[in-house]
A and B are shown apart, each in its own frame.
Chain A
Amino acid sequence: MGEPEFYVGYLPRAPRRLARFVRALVIALVATSVVFAALMAGSQGAFSNGAFEFGVERDFTGWIETEPYPMLVVERPGGGWSTYLLSGVGKHGAESEVGSGSGYWASLRGSLIYRDGQTMIEVSRGSVVPQVGPDSGSFGEPAGDAGSGSASGAKPQPDLSRIEGVGGERTFVGEIVDSKCFLGVMKPGATKPHRACATRCISGGVPPVLLVRDGDGVATYLLLVDETGASVGRQLVDRALIAEPVRVHGKLDQLGDRWVLRADPSRIERIE
């Protein structure tokens, strides 16, 4: 063993035996932390298959519906209409881009967000150009290739009449999330760690959806509106009903290819 060694940090070198001990200790600590890192990284829950084409802009044309939430309506090649929720940049809705009031034909530029067959478009700032009316909608052309709003010939608006109560009066248990993050911008885009973000998004105008999962975990997205069919984001924020289990009772409407749940926000219950 020899004389006990004494360490003084400001001296140039540590005593020999002590230095050997510390070297082994540091190697062990670093090795442990690397194993811990692998363990932590490996134990993370699965990430969703959602995608956000950040930085990739595409051109779209179609009918812009402004109520209850901005969405783009595009005619499907085989007939019928597809609806695509719109959002603004960041944690904002698309209202400032598309305006309010009656719908209109337009072209716009944006980035796709998609998951589970649901698609949203983040509208690029200032890219919405009203049109007289295209021959048909176009969806997702690479930026710069689409028509520039000069399509000819007026065309009536899509037949997107809401089929009220087609799904009956129902009670659902699920989680209210913001459609933008959940579809692919954030992973995870739900549950408590994401609550603050979802709250800001819905407060900013991103459409809220009730996420309902069946026994197999398959998700259904119900666009949430109040009993009159108007947007309901503000009430959800004020009542702090976002990103936790809730029970919602309402009437299930169909709007194009989309389910819409009409419910009184004051009667949405938290499930503690």
Chain B
Amino acid sequence: MGHSYRAVGWNRQKRVYDLALIAGIVLYLATFVGVGFTLHPGATAETMLIRALGTGAFLLLHLVLAIGPLCRVDSRFLPLLYNRRHLGVATFVLGLLHGGFALVQFHALGDLNPLVSVFVSNPRVDSVAQFPFQPLGVIALVILFLMAATSHDFWLANLTAPVWKSLHMLVYLAYLLLVGHVSLGVLQAETSPVLAGAVGIGMAGLLALHLLAGASEVAVDRGRDAATGAAGSAAGHSSLGLSSLREEDSAFVDVCAVSEIDEKRARLVSVAGDRVAVFRYDGKFSAVSNACQHQNGPLGEGCVIDGLITCPWHGYQYRPLDGASPEPFTEKVPTFRVQIRSGRVLIDPTPLPAGTPVEPALIGEGASDG
């Protein structure tokens, strides 16, 4: 977390992840080159390598882009997300090798600087069909480089989360550029429908996954809003009979019944467009903003471990009491006031400044209410 940084701390899980990644890449390249030369003994090694590396990088990018929505749909994919940046760096390395070999093959040993040649040797920008495809690949590679170079949390902290997040959202631009790179390049030379079909299926698959994940997010918000609205009214209605109700208490909105929150887990509620995670732990209830300070991970899908709210994405932790990471870490999220009334959990939807201590609500105190 936001403390001090080592290059990378490899634990067993990370080693297993990287071993599987490297083995997968080696198997992919070996299969491509092996099958390629078996079926096409007259092929040149450079062409085979360029194609193996290019298709490998493109395939890996699909996996990188699929992991996010997959995790929204099914949390069992989260272990793939934890070290997703390794996949990103590997994608860049494969792309760099692909681009490097292509640069030497198509542009080196000529009458122009190869890096200039990439941009000027096909000047047909006036035609869609003849449009140069190599510059698109170069721009995508630059984006992948920026992402790989800033993938360490050191950069996340120093660039600030919004800048870092915006930079890394450029992966979608890189993907579109690469679709253009492939469509305007090799697809125009190959007659087999396999590659075109694969590109199409890849695009459709990614689009479907993102729509599915988006729909489930919308459903979460709508469901919570509806529940909050209905329950809030009910709570408000029932509160009309309470002569002792303090004015400030009327701001509280209903979240759910106490029994609906599992121990060490949270219930999400959407209030005024913000998501709030209400955690239950050791008979207490605390609420914090749902967005992890690290990468906006969904804290509400996290778990209380060792008394600390733990983000499901990268394990960043916060105290339920004040939304602050334990020393020496410095991350803080906004907190919310919580009450228990008549066996129901209510929160004040007004966020308190990040790190503000809030007394947790206790089940016992709620029993006497109402």
Indicate with 1 or 0, residue by residue over A23-41, a CB within 8 angstroms of chain B CB atoms: 0011001100110111111
Q: In this assembly, does A173 line the interface, its C-beta being within 8 Å of a C-beta of chain B?
A: no
Q: In this assembly, does A119 line the interface, its C-beta being within 8 Å of a C-beta of chain B?
A: no
In the assembly, what is the distance between CA of A10 and CA of B24, in Å? 23
A17 to chain B, nearest CB (A): 9
Contact check, A9 vs B195: say whether CB atoms are below 8 A apart: no
| A7 in contact with B43 given A43-B190, A196-B107, A196-B122 (CB within 8 Å) | no
Contact check, B82 vs A9: say whether CB atoms are below 8 A apart: yes
Contact check, A7 vs B312: say whether CB atoms are below 8 A apart: yes
Contact check, B310 vs A6: say whether CB atoms are below 8 A apart: yes
In the assembly, what is the distance between CA of A82 and CA of B85, in Å? 60
| A34 in contact with B28 given A192-B188, A192-B189, A199-B121 (CB within 8 Å) | yes
Give the size range of B's interface with the partner.
35 or more
Q: In this assembly, does A46 line the interface, its C-beta being within 8 Å of a C-beta of chain B?
A: yes
Contact check, A13 vs B33: say whether CB atoms are below 8 A apart: no
Q: In this assembly, does B78 line the interface, its C-beta being within 8 Å of a C-beta of chain A?
A: yes
| A89 in contact with B107 given A11-B13, A193-B189 (CB within 8 Å) | no
Q: In this assembly, does A217 line the interface, its C-beta being within 8 Å of a C-beta of chain B?
A: no
Contact check, A187 vs B43: say whether CB atoms are below 8 A apart: yes
Q: In this assembly, does A197 line the interface, its C-beta being within 8 Å of a C-beta of chain B?
A: yes
Contact of B121 among A14, A44, A195 (CB under 8 A): A195
Q: In this assembly, does B160 line the interface, its C-beta being within 8 Å of a C-beta of chain A?
A: no
Chain B positions within 8 Å of A197 at CB level = 105-107, 121
Q: In this assembly, does B6 line the interface, its C-beta being within 8 Å of a C-beta of chain A?
A: no
Contact of B24 among A8, A29, A43, A204 (CB under 8 A): A29
Contact check, B51 vs A40: say whether CB atoms are below 8 A apart: yes
Contact check, B80 vs A37: say whether CB atoms are below 8 A apart: no
Chain B positions within 8 Å of A22 at CB level = 76, 79-80
Q: In this assembly, does A188 line the interface, its C-beta being within 8 Å of a C-beta of chain B?
A: yes
A122 to chain B, nearest CB (A): 11
In the assembly, what is the distance between CA of A14 and CA of B303, in Å? 15
Contact check, A92 vs B186: say whether CB atoms are below 8 A apart: no
Indicate with 1 or 0, residue by residue over A193-214, a CB within 8 angstroms of chain B CB atoms: 1111101110110000000000
| A92 in contact with B110 given A9-B14, A25-B80, A196-B134 (CB within 8 Å) | yes
Contact check, A44 vs B192: say whether CB atoms are below 8 A apart: yes
B44 to chain A, nearest CB (A): 5
In the assembly, what is the distance between CA of A219 and CA of B27, in Å? 38
In the assembly, what is the distance between CA of A272 and CA of B124, in Å? 12
| A186 in contact with B105 given A7-B78, A199-B122 (CB within 8 Å) | yes
Q: Among B111-119, B168-176, B269-277, B325-333, which stretch is in contact with chain A?
A: B111-119
Contact check, B40 vs A33: say whether CB atoms are below 8 A apart: no
Contact check, A47 vs B106: say whether CB atoms are below 8 A apart: no
Contact check, B111 vs A91: say whether CB atoms are below 8 A apart: yes
A236 to chain B, nearest CB (A): 12
Chain A interface (Cβ < 8 Å from any Cβ of B): 4, 6-14, 18, 21-22, 25-26, 29-30, 33-34, 36-49, 89-92, 186-188, 191-197, 199-201, 203-204, 240, 244, 272
Beyond A9-B13, A10-B13, A34-B27, list 9 extra A-B contacts (CB 8 Å): A6-B310, A7-B78, A34-B28, A40-B55, A45-B189, A47-B40, A192-B184, A193-B133, A200-B111
Listed from nearest, the 7 A-B pairs whose CB atoms lie closest are A90-B109, A9-B82, A196-B121, A43-B194, A200-B110, A91-B110, A41-B36
